[in-house]
Amino acid sequence: MDASERGVLLNRLADLMERDREYLASLETLDNGKPFQIAYAADLALSIKCLRYYAGWADKIHGKTIPIDGDYFCYTRHEPVGVCGQIIPWNFPLLMLAWKLGPALATGNVIVMKPAEQTPLTALYVASLIKEAGFPPGVVNIITGYGPTAGAAISEHMDVDKVAFTGSTEVGHIVLQAAGRSNLKKVTLELGGKSPNIVFSDADLDEAVENSHFALFFNQGQCCCAGSRTFVHEDIYDDFVKKSVERAKKRTMGNPYDSSNEQGPQIDEEQMNKILELIESGKQEGAKLQCGGGREGDKGYFIKPTVFSDVTDHMRIAKEEIFGPVMQIMKFKDINEVIERANTTMYGLAAAVHTTDVNKAIAIAHGVRAGTVW
């Protein structure tokens, strides 16, 4: 197939997702629990834009001719990897599907994708749209199943040339080991995080509070790049905590199809219980519970927006990825201290800084070991 035709097919798929945007958003909410308005305005919009972006790249990926000594013709050629196994998580099912499908299809690969067992519905529907768009049979294969069976089969298969996995660090280790035991397939991993969100005293306080609230509570706190270690300068610490608690208490929660609600349920009972157990550890280790701290009602997997203050670095809630609506606010004195503490973690996915001083912002961006710094 010509490269330009791959771009046409990806744009056609994006068109079909645009056509069925409301239905896909409804499926995403049914499967995942996130508010419908977020699924429609964010997840669907970003997924469609992602596919269109890579559609544009399809016929613009090329090698180089290289001048070398002697009577030789030297060039590089970009070729498809081959069969790409893709394992995606449950927190952003459709967006993760688009992130995986887009670049692999634009570059001419064949895909075997396993959606999370908790959230397979949108992937299966997109499979029908892929067929409707006219992709050749066998180019995209969506398989459902559990990690230890279907996921393991992808990771270990001798005919899979690459595996891309987004999910927990624990499972990332397993995927990498399986690739090594089999055919040394290429591996791309996007794993967990405990990202520092640093607020200096010169920041606009109200803006920093709102941004920090969003950074933690968006998607029920189920974001791998969530700002889940909030470091606040001691000069504004008390005011920041007070305003953060007020904002958390105003957060609306309930039926995700009700547009007035900001927060839906957690993904399942297992995740809810994990979050509640970590909340209890925070109480026991001496953090000050400012609000929330438990389950909301007895129907559905809802957890009250929770804020802890007086959190220290040794506490479990300051070290472990909670993946839920639980905010930890820690105090710092100066920039060198906060950079050192921000880097005292096994994670390095993302970070953020709030300041009006560009020198501080650049110092944090360069000093904190994170792949993305906002």
Residues 6+ apart with CB under 8 A from 15: none
Q: What sections of 268-334 are H helices per DSSP?
A: 269-284, 316-319
Q: What is the DSSP string of 88-113?
A: --SSSHHHHHHHHHHHHHHTT-EEEE
| Angle of helix 3-19 versus helix 93-106 axis, rounded to 10 | 160
Catalytic residues: 190, 224
Sheet holding 196-199, edge to edge: 288-291, 306-309, 326-332, 229-233, 196-199, 350-354, 372-373
Instruction: Give the pLDDT score at 95.
Output: 98
Query: What does the alpha-carbon distance between residue 354 and residue 196 come to, in Å, rounded to a whole number?
Result: 11
pLDDT at 251: 97
What is the Cα–Cα distance from 276 to 321, expressed in whole angstroms? 13
pLDDT attached to residue 296: 95
d(CA 88, CA 266): 18
- What is the Cα–Cα distance from 368 to 342, expressed in whole angstroms? 7
Q: What does the alpha-carbon distance between residue 333 and residue 364 come to, in Å, rounded to a whole number?
A: 14
Q: How far is CA 365 from CA 65, 193, 343, 362, in A?
A: 36, 17, 12, 5
CA–CA dist 48, 164 (Å, integer): 20
Question: How high is the pLDDT of residue 70?
Answer: 96
pLDDT values of the chain reduced to their tens digit, one per residue, 374 residues: 999 999 999 999 999 999 999 999 999 999 999 999 999 999 999 999 999 999 999 999 999 999 999 999 999 999 999 999 999 999 999 999 999 999 999 999 999 999 999 999 999 999 999 999 999 999 999 999 999 999 999 999 999 999 999 999 999 999 999 999 999 999 999 999 999 999 999 999 999 999 999 999 999 999 999 999 999 999 999 999 999 999 999 999 999 999 999 999 999 999 999 999 999 999 999 999 999 999 999 999 999 999 999 999 999 999 999 999 999 999 999 999 999 999 999 999 999 999 999 999 999 999 999 999 99
Q: What is the pLDDT of residue 322?
A: 97
Residue 137: the pLDDT is: 97
φ/ψ (deg, to 5) at 247: -70, -40
Q: Which residues pair with 83 in a beta bridge?
A: 110
For residue 239, how many other CB atoms are within 10 A of its CB? 13
Total H helices, total E strands in the chain: 14, 14
Among residues 273, 339, 337, 345, the alpha carbon closest in space to that of 314 is found at: 345
What is residue 231's predicted lDDT score, i.e. its pLDDT?
Answer: 98
- 8 Å CB contact between 276 and 294: yes
User: Measured between alpha carbons, how far is residue 154 from residues 86, 123, 192, 204, 241 in Å?
Assistant: 8, 17, 21, 48, 46
Residue among 89, 10, 106, 97 at smallest CA distance from 47: 97
Helix (H) or strand (E) holding 326: strand 326-332
| Residue 141: burial class (beta carbons within 10 Å; 0-12, 13-18, 19+) | middle
Query: Residue 279 and residue 274: Cα distance in Å, rounded?
Result: 9
What CA–CA distance (Å, rounded) separates 73 from 64?
A: 11
Q: What is the pTM of this model?
A: 0.94
